[in-house]
Amino acid sequence: MPTCWTLPRGIVRTHPACEHKDMLRIRVLHGPNLNLLGTREQSIYGTLSLDALDSAITKLAKELAVKVDLRQSNSEGELVTWIQEARTKYDGIIINPAAYTHTSIAIRDAIAAVGLPTVEVHLSNIHQREEFRHRSHIAGVAIGQISGLGPTGYLLALRGLHDHLIASQRQKKTTTPAPSRRTAKGMK
């Protein structure tokens, strides 16, 4: 199968077959302070850099023949814009909203508005941390949440979202009624 992916900072690499309309496209969004992975609070977030994490995600995406678009921002507004842009260009979203998990109604509303299957990911277990981190505004509009498994959580999210999207496609194909004979013959 072809491999397609978008690397951070707008570098795009694709196989010609990736333009096929059935190719799954997933946007991966890293929220605030995740650009500091590997150097920030290593006892909580580990030593893996964001570039290394993106490389692992890209490697799995290639294996799954999924096009991924990997982005990081410290700006709530930019994350909202990227979620909205995904509506017509992507099949699903993986997001680590980081601290915005607990505060951003705007990100929650953007995810709800676009209606794309979304998986929320956290490197640390937000439910074992400070009380204010226990509440997620995103969980209610996501199809799932993975928390506390470190970088592996992103890979599980990618595999899980991929499988969810494939199952949804299969279900649509089996539940779509065949055209009536009149319609098929072009009769009115």
Residue type (1 letter), 54: D
CB 70 within 8 A of CB 164: no
Residue type (1 letter), 188: K
Q: What are residue 19's phi and psi, to 5 degrees?
A: -75, -5
Sheet holding 12-13, edge to edge: 12-13, 5-6, 67-72, 25-30, 92-96, 118-122, 144-147
168: left (phi over 0), alpha (psi -120 to 50) or beta: alpha
Catalytic residue annotation: 45, 122
Q: How far is CA 45 from the centre of its chain?
A: 19
